[in-house]
C-alpha cells in the first residue's frame, strides 16, 4: 500500500470514528476536549458536527490555519501534562468526549504519554463519556468499546467511563 493510500485510510478511519462517538455521546452532558490541535482538521470536524457543544482545544503551539483555531476562551496553550491537570477552572464540567490525538510517531514519546495521561483523562471524563485515543491506554475505570464496522483493529482505541 502506498503512503498516500495509507494516509487516506487513516483519515477515513478517524472521520468514521469521530462520527460514531458523536452519536454515542448524544445523551452525555459536558464539553468536548480536543487534545492536539495540529492543523485543526479534527477540531473543525467536531465543531461542524457538534453544534452547540462547547469544545476546548489543547496544544503546546498553534500551527493550524486561522479558520481552524478556536477563540481565546477555548484554546488552552501549554504542555497538556500541565494544562489538562489544571484546566478545571476554565473547562468546569467533566467532558462527554475527549479526543486524544497525541501520537507522535516516536516510540519513547508515545510510551511516556501512555504513562502520564491516563489519570488526567480519568479525572476529566464524565461517567458515560468517551475517550478516543490513537494510543492504547490503561484506563481501569473505563471499558474498551469495539470499533465501528470496517475499521482496522488497533488503529484507534475507544473507552467509555463506567
Ligand atoms: N488532531 C489534529 C488534526 O486533526 O490536525 C492532529 C494532532 S497532531 C497528531 C498532535 C498535536 O499534539 C501536535 O500539534 C502537537 O503539538 C500536540 N502535542 C503532542 N503532545 C503534546 C503535549 N504533551 N502537550 C501539548 N501538545 C502536544
Pocket of ligand 1, candidates 36, 81, 117: which has the most ligand atoms within 8 Å of its Cβ, to mutate? 36
How far, in Å, is the centroid of ligand 1 from the Cα of 84?
A: 13
Q: Say which residues have a Cβ less than 8 Å from residue 113's Cβ, sequence separation at least 6.
A: 102, 104, 135
So what's the pLDDT on residue 118? 98
So what's the pLDDT on residue 155? 87
- Residue 106, ligand 1, Cβ within 6 A: no
So what's the pLDDT on residue 72? 97
How far, in Å, is the centroid of ligand 1 from the Cα of 137?
A: 17
Share of the chain above pLDDT 90, in %: 93
Average pLDDT over residues 89-115: 97
Give CA separation, 61 vs 66, 92, 108, 113, in Å.
13, 23, 21, 17
Confidence (pTM): 0.97
Average pLDDT score over the chain: 96
Record the cell numbers describing residue 12, joined without a space.
Answer: 477515513
What does the pLDDT look like over 11-27, one tens digit per residue? Answer: 999 999 999 999 999 99
Average pLDDT over residues 67-82: 98
Average pLDDT over residues 139-161: 94
How far, in Å, is the centroid of ligand 1 from the Cα of 96?
A: 20
What does the pLDDT look like over 20-62, one tens digit per residue? Answer: 999 999 999 999 999 999 999 999 999 999 999 999 999 999 9
So what's the pLDDT on residue 152? 87
So what's the pLDDT on residue 76? 98
pLDDT at 107 over 90: yes
Share of the chain above pLDDT 70, in %: 100
The span from the CA of 152 to the CA of 6, in Å, is 12
Record the cell numbers describing residue 52, joined without a space.
Answer: 452547540
User: Pairing relation of β-strands 95-100 and 157-161?
Assistant: unpaired
The span from the CA of 33 to the CA of 57, in Å, is 6
Amino acid at each position: 500500500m502506498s503512503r498516500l493510500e495509507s494516509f487516506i485510510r487513516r483519515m477515513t478511519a478517524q472521520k468514521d470514528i469521530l462520527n460514531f462517538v458523536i452519536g454515542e455521546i448524544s445523551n452525555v452532558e459536558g464539553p468536548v476536549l480536543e487534545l492536539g490541535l495540529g492543523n485543526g482538521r479534527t477540531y473543525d470536524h467536531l465543531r461542524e458536527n457538534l453544534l452547540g457543544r462547547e469544545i476546548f482545544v489543547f496544544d503546546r503551539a498553534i500551527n493550524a490555519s486561522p479558520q481552524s483555531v478556536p477563540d481565546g476562551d477555548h484554546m488552552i496553550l501549554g504542555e497538556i501534562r500541565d494544562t489538562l491537570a489544571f484546566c478545571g477552572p476554565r473547562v468546569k464540567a467533566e467532558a462527554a468526549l475527549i479526543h486524544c490525538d497525541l501520537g507522535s510517531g516516536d516510540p519513547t514519546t508515545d510510551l511516556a504519554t501512555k504513562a502520564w495521561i491516563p489519570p488526567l483523562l480519568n479525572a476529566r471524563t464524565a461517567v458515560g463519556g468517551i475517550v478516543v485515543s490513537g494510543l492504547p491506554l490503561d484506563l481501569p475505570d473505563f471499558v474498551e468499546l469495539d470499533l465501528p464496522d470496517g475499521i482496522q483493529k488497533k488503529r484507534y482505541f475507544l473507552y467509555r467511563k463506567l
